[in-house]
């Protein structure tokens, strides 16, 4: 794993690019066949052989605040539920009752136990079967073997990672997240929306700044730079840095004391389908959950350390999020337009250039795993 640059190094690299009117460049380009966005077989392999075997954030730790808090969603098509147990651990189970398979819960909430809404079979937060109404109707029922089915999960750096089919989480793969989501962060907002685009098209929009001036002329471009990014890799993961124009204020500070606070956005791409994005007032977590070959559920959580009891803080955060939402809507509209364009037959492949290095890294790793699974 390569070490990610610290704040003084990041700021100096940005200044070097500003002065040279340059940006980080990849070592090579990449041609991604358009059929890879349209092939049902390719989509099946991505879902069943890559996404189900790769740990991704099921939710931030802040979404499980307090004993009994739970969050349920599908990961790579597998219904899962995370719950905060009495011992403080976050556990993740397949979200299905062991009686007739009904989902125990949907969305988020807090409960003293997980109770199936169909026949009220009841499980504690460790997944053990604790209650069966009219249990005499199930002679020979072995409660010990009929608890909820766990999946591999770990809680680290403020996130609950889960892998429906995969091995234990390799903690070193996510070392770059240290300090981004701390115990001081609280959940401010959570949202879900469906986007009419392949999940990879959506992911690509997060991974380069080559489009800033053209797509975001009235949102992100006025405060950022056109086609100026840093791209750092950490295993299959990447960090893409988008500097703000106010970073120029850092030139007055001694090089070793320069800070990234409030002068740039980092997008941490957690391969394959999650992003952790740093803003001035919040950290936003995004997961791109494939629903179908041309539809994706976009889940997002907004975390903050700000004191939300203060009206001024709430107003500032709401204003910042409204601005981000407008720019993000432009990205979603672009993804849907690309999805519609796939049917045109104009392109045999998409050409990702030297300024789109994080996308090249993404597709190179995804293709290697898909090829290995076939």
- Using one digit for the tens of pLDDT, what is the confidence trace for 67-119? 999 999 999 999 999 999 999 999 999 999 999 999 999 999 999 999 999 99
Helical H segments across 150-258, by residue range: 199-206, 212-215
- Asked whether residue 3 carries a pLDDT value surpassing 80, the answer given is no
The pLDDT value given to residue 2: 62
d(CA 354, CA 24): 8
The pLDDT value given to residue 71: 98
3-state helix, strand, coil in the chain (%, to 5): 35, 30, 35
CB of 56 within 8 A of CB of 41?
A: no
The pLDDT value given to residue 67: 97
Q: What percent of the chain has pLDDT over 70?
A: 99
Q: What is the mean pLDDT of residues 157-165?
A: 96
Residue whose pair of structure tokens reads 């979603």 in the numeric block? 332
The pLDDT value given to residue 207: 98
Domains with residue ranges and CATH for the chain: 7-54+182-373 (3.90.380.10), 57-169 (2.102.10.10)
Average pLDDT, the chain: 96
The pLDDT value given to residue 1: 53
Which two tokens mark 136?
Answer: 């005499």
Closest CA to 240 of 211, 199, 214: 211
The pLDDT value given to residue 52: 97
CB of 353 within 8 A of CB of 29?
A: yes
Terminal CA-CA length for the chain: 27
| 277: CB partners within 8 A, 6+ apart | 206, 265, 266, 267, 268, 283, 284, 285, 286
- Asked whether residue 122 carries a pLDDT value surpassing 70, the answer given is yes
The pLDDT value given to residue 256: 94
- Asked whether residue 182 carries a pLDDT value surpassing 90, the answer given is yes
d(CA 198, CA 290): 7
Largest CA distance in the chain: 78
- Asked whether residue 168 carries a pLDDT value surpassing 90, the answer given is no
Q: What is the mean pLDDT of residues 116-124?
A: 98
Q: Please calculate the CA angle 229-202-231 and round it to the nearest 5 degrees.
A: 20
d(CA 227, CA 236): 23
Handedness of CA 154, 160, 164, 166 (dihedral sign): negative
Residue whose pair of structure tokens reads 């996404």 in the numeric block? 51
The tens digit of pLDDT for each residue in 247-304 reads: 999 999 999 999 999 999 999 999 999 999 999 999 999 999 999 999 999 999 999 9
- Model confidence at 39, pLDDT cuts 50, 70, 90, reads very high
- Model confidence at 159, pLDDT cuts 50, 70, 90, reads very high
Q: What is the mean pLDDT of residues 162-174?
A: 90
């Amino acid at each position: 794993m390569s070490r990610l640059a610290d704040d003084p190094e990041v700021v100096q690299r940005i200044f070097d690019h500003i002065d040279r009117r340059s940006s980080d460049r990849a070592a090579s380009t990449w041609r991604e066949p358009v059929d890879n966005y349209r092939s049902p077989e390719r989509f099946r392999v991505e879902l069943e052989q890559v996404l189900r075997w790769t740990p991704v954030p099921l939710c931030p730790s802040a979404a499980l605040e307090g004993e009994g808090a739970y969050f349920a969603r599908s990961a790579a098509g597998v219904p899962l539920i995370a719950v905060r147990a009495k011992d403080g651990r976050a556990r993740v189970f397949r979200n299905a009752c062991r009686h007739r398979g009904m989902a125990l819960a949907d969305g988020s909430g807090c409960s003293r136990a997980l109770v199936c809404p169909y026949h009220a079979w009841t499980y504690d937060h460790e997944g053990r079967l604790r209650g069966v109404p009219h249990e005499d109707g199930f002679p020979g029922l072995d409660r010990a073997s009929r608890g909820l089915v766990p999946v591999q999960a770990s809680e680290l750096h403020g996130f609950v990672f889960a892998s429906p089919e995969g091995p234990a989480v390799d903690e070193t793969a996510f070392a770059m997240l240290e300090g981004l989501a701390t115990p001081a962060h609280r959940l401010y907002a959570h949202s879900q929306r469906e986007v009419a685009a392949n999940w990879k098209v959506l992911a690509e929009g997060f991974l380069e700044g080559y489009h800033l001036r053209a797509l975001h002329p009235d949102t992100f471009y006025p405060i950022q730079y056109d086609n100026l990014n840093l791209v750092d890799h950490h295993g299959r993961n990447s960090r893409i840095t988008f500097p703000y124009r106010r970073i120029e204020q850092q030139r007055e500070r001694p090089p070793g004391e320069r800070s990234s606070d409030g002068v740039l956005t980092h997008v941490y791409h957690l391969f394959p389908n999650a992003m952790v994005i740093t803003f001035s007032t919040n950290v936003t977590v995004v997961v791109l959950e494939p629903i179908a070959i041309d539809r994706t559920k976009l889940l997002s959580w907004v975390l903050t350390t700000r004191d939300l009891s203060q009206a001024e803080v709430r107003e500032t955060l709401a204003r910042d999020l409204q601005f981000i939402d407008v720019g993000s809507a432009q990205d979603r509209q672009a993804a849907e337009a690309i999805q519609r364009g796939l049917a045109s037959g104009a392109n045999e492949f998409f050409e990702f250039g030297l300024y789109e290095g994080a996308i090249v890294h993404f597709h190179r790793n995804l293709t290697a795993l898909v090829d290995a699974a076939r």
